[in-house]
Amino acid sequence: MKQGLFISLEGPDGCGKSTQITFMEQYLKQEGYEVVVTREPGGTDISEQIRKVILDKDNMAMGDTTELLLYAAARAQLVSEFIKPAVDAGKVVICDRFVDSSAVYQGIARGLGIDMVYAVNSYALQGMMPKRTFLLDLPAQEGIKRKRGQHELDRMELQKAEFHEKVAQGYRTLAAMHKERIVIIDAMKPADEIAAIIREELQDLL
Ligand SMILES: Nc1ncnc2c1ncn2[C@@H]1O[C@H](COP(=O)(O)OP(=O)(O)OP(=O)(O)O)[C@@H](O)[C@H]1O
Ligand SMILES: [Mg+2]
């Protein structure tokens, strides 16, 4: 049977994840792979309902621990209902954000600690970790700038500049800890250049 593959994209808001996923999906399908794309938080009916609670800007009073657990709950459903069955069926699964987002946003930027975040999430993951993670590295304010005017900012996007700075730096720290899995790409490069870098990495994986 064909072997499945699980890939994630990470990076600050507006770094170009959706743009690159479109390129990746197109390329992989053209190469004959069965590809499915999903996103976090969300990706299943239940997880999308949890997403609404997490991102609702009326929920500014949400505690950091509540935030951590809601992300983990949405992830647990996504893994069991979607990611694991798809990988087991031999598909290529591309996920827009995964547990590294929690490590950076809740573990580093909120200060809950990376080890605690992975420990809590170990219940949600069922052993599923991406084989490769592409980190689109961008100065924090550049991402927010790219997104302004596109849509109304959600609860996470509305966090202070200092928080976004911690996120951008946190991703670099995390990538240094997981060099074997996380590929850092300069997201200031033009989108087609980034797509070419990712394509080469994918060729090595497939
Ligand atoms: N390499 C790039 N250089 C300049 N602008 C880019 C690049 N890639 C994407 N953009 C633009 O930046 C904006 C954000 O891109 P995109 O939606 O792909 O990012 P994202 O990481 O998916 O954001 P979100 O956090 O909202 O999911 C879009 O307007 C997109 O066209
Ligand atoms: Mg996106």
First to last CA, the chain: 14
Q: Ligand 1: distance of its center to the CA of 17 in Å?
A: 7
Nearest atom within ligand 1 for CA of residue 157: 25
Question: For residue range 3-60, what is the model confidence (pLDDT) as tens digits?
Answer: 899 999 999 999 999 999 999 999 999 999 999 999 999 999 999 999 999 999 999 9
Ligand 1, atom 23: nearest CA belongs to which residue? Answer: 14
Looking from the CA of residue 190, the nearest atom of ligand 1 is 1
The verdict on the CB of residue 140 being under 6 Å from ligand 1 is no
- How far, in Å, CA of 118 to CA of 111, rounded? 13
Asked if residue 16 has its Cβ within 6 Å of ligand 1, the reply is yes
Q: pLDDT digit string (tens) for 153-188? A: 899 988 999 999 999 999 999 999 999 999 999 999
Q: Which domain holds residue 136?
A: 5-205
Give the count of domains, the chain.
1
pLDDT of residue 1: 57
Q: What is the average pLDDT value for the chain, to the nearest integer?
A: 96
Write the CATH number for 155. Answer: 3.40.50.300
Q: Burial, 180: exposed, middle or buried (Cβ in 10 Å; 0-12, 13-18, 19+)?
A: exposed
3-class secondary-structure state, position 9: strand
Q: Which one, of 183, 177, 189, 167, lies nearest residue 105 by Cα? A: 167
Task: List Cβ neighbours of 140 (8 Å cut-off, separation of 6 or more).
Answer: 12, 161, 164, 165, 167, 168
